[in-house]
Chain A
């Protein structure tokens, strides 16, 4: 009747997966630009916590913070540059608003991809995953001040890039 069965450990593990995999996948995809890579990274991340060598210490780090840290490290190893963020081929049957959305999304993806790695990961965690600055600091092993300043620099750079490259962007929306 219910798919979550077998041992309590498996139930706990699957519940953990259920709670966090979507956010981790989004984060990995936004860093790597590849669905296949993001899928591999998230799979490895979860199976990694089962290994005896797993370094997670529940007393020191919440599991979400630990998982984001693993995904971040794995993503940086595989990082690819902007190709995957090129606009999708337009679907001629789509309404015009969909085409505009695709175009805007691709423009944003390119602008984010152009950010330095350290700013990009802060921006993704803060804006798209809505993580608190303190948690981002823990994931990236930085202090909160450094996270704040990277976020401010990333946002300023994006404003400049998007406004310069796509002057009518706000109006198109």
Chain B
């Protein structure tokens, strides 16, 4: 028996599929840990002990928000040369679609960065998102410190900074209430390889709003896929993304889409 024959025979020992319950258990474990150290748990305890102070704190919080909300979204140090208006659509099982979110964004250090976002015909939701965008980063910083400690947090920040030069990021959507926005990051392609933007295989080409794009696919959820169209001349900005879930019969159903509707030059 030579080495090649041995390799071939060894490959016959197959592994069973990963149980689908594993992802659920890890997510639940993560959530439970977060809850244990959560700011809200401490807040509930404090309210139980100091009920009279609650009203005063509520007033203070509202005043703080009134000051903070105008600065909810990260602003570029200098005006970005261009911005993209995008809409996020949800598709129902019958194929009908609804616009979930509208957003204006641009590329900063290889990552899609939001200037503003709003819910069409729903000012209450828009205000809620603005508040969440203000509170979210502060809450995350508190939780991160509780979870990781100062030293490890510093290492994570350094690793993130190093990663920024190697990756391309895009906003891929948001959850049911859209309180937070989701990003995906892909390894940046080395020159002359992959799609030119990411290391993925090219699955299509299209011209979107006058910009040539190259499409690639990646996994989306456990049983889904996403197809992303990036424009190299816009710093690999994702002008379109389609999210599909796999049905029991193996076919894919469109579940969501991000679509650029307008590019504004600011130069």
Contact = CB atoms under 8 A, between A and B. Distances in A.
A2 B220 contact: yes
A5 B182 contact: yes
A7 B256 CA distance: 21
Interface string A56-98: 0111000000000000000000000000000000000000000
Given A2-B174, A109-B13, A170 B23 contact: no
A57 B159 CA distance: 12
B18 A21 contact: yes
B15 interface: yes
Contacts of A159: 1, 6
B13 A17 contact: no
A5 B27 contact: no
A9 B5 CA distance: 45
Nearest to A57: B155
A162 B18 CA distance: 28
A145 to B, nearest CB: 20
Contacts of B174: 1-2, 5
A2 B256 contact: yes
A11 B22 contact: no
A29 B121 CA distance: 52
Contact of B12 (A10, A11, A26, A104): A104
A8 interface: yes
A1 B8 CA distance: 42
A59 B155 CA distance: 8
Contacts of A43: 22, 25-26, 29
A158 B23 contact: no
B16 A29 contact: yes
A121 to B, nearest CB: 15
B20 to A, nearest CB: 10
B206 to A, nearest CB: 21
Contacts, number: 131
Interface string B126-168: 0000000000100110011001110000011001000000000
A14 interface: yes
Contact of A170 (B1, B143, B144, B255): B1
B34 interface: yes
Contacts of B156: 58
Given A2-B174, A101-B12, A109-B13, A11 B183 contact: yes
Interface residues of A, number: 49
Q: Interface extent on B, as a size class?
A: 35 or more
Contacts of A29: 15-16
B30 A108 contact: no
A105 B147 CA distance: 43
A120 interface: no
A129 to B, nearest CB: 11
A22 interface: yes
A7 B33 contact: no
A57 B154 CA distance: 12
A13 B29 CA distance: 12
Contacts of A46: 26, 29
Contacts of B144: 7, 9
B3 A1 contact: no
Interface in A6-42: 6-11, 13-15, 17-18, 21-22, 25-26, 29-30, 35, 39, 42
Interface string B225-262: 00000000000000000010000000000011000000
In the complex, the 7 A-B pairs of residues with the closest C-beta atoms, listed nearest first: A1-B173, A5-B175, A2-B173, A108-B13, A104-B12, A1-B256, A2-B182
Interface of B: 1, 3, 5-10, 12-16, 18-19, 21-23, 25-27, 29-30, 33-34, 88, 90, 100, 136, 139-140, 143-144, 147-149, 155-156, 159, 172-175, 180, 182-185, 219-221, 243, 255-256
Interface of A: 1-11, 13-15, 17-18, 21-22, 25-26, 29-30, 35, 39, 42-43, 46-47, 50, 52, 57-59, 101, 104-105, 108-109, 112, 127-128, 155, 158-159, 162-163, 169-170, 173
